[in-house]
Amino acid sequence: MVDDIASSLSSVTIAHFACHGQQLTDKPLSSSLKLQDSDLKISHIMEQRMSNAALTFLCACEMAMGDKALPDEAMHLGATLLFSGFRSAVATMWLINDADGPVIADTFYVHLLKDDPIIPNTELVAEAVHFGTADLRKWGVEFRRWVPFIHLGN
């Protein structure tokens, strides 16, 4: 499954991952998305060419966490996908509540599809993240639950 997913990244415009993730600051190239059969590691993603890639949504823990000891040099999965060709990434800076990801994603995609129900407007990514986090804030959830969702890239 990991090889299939990694190889298909080169042909997709949008890649959405809703799974567990792990940042390994001592071995950044081993940081990964936890898939059903194995881990999709940064090192594996970096091998792919992504010429059609517009947006990735990483609804997993620690996907833009970085390393507090090296804030300007840390490698995280969100940045790796940008460097690999995606123009925009939505990622999380730390652990997230499993219930929050679907709430943010639902509002996010409704906003991207507001003008055309078939083709998402990826120019609205930052605004869509804002609306998704605003939904969580409306429900009165704690600050630590909505603030980790960020937009990277264009």
* d(C-alpha 42, C-alpha 25), whole Å: 12
Query: Which tens digits make up the pLDDT trace of 44-86?
Result: 988 888 888 999 999 998 888 877 777 776 678 898 889 889 9
Pull the structure tokens for residue 43. 């090192």
Burial (CB count <10 Å: 0-12, 13-18, 19+), residue 96: buried
Task: Name the pTM for this structure.
Answer: 0.91
Q: Rounded to the nearest 5 degrees, what angle is found at the Cα of 37, between the Cα atoms of 36 and 43? A: 100
pLDDT of residue 109: 98
* d(C-alpha 68, C-alpha 47), whole Å: 27
The 3-state DSSP class for residue 152 equals: strand
* d(C-alpha 19, C-alpha 33), whole Å: 7
pLDDT of residue 77: 87
Pull the structure tokens for residue 110. 């409704």
Query: Which tens digits make up the pLDDT trace of 73-128?
Result: 667 889 888 988 999 999 999 899 999 999 999 999 999 999 999 999 999 999 99
Q: Provide the residue count of the chain.
A: 154
* d(C-alpha 77, C-alpha 42), whole Å: 6
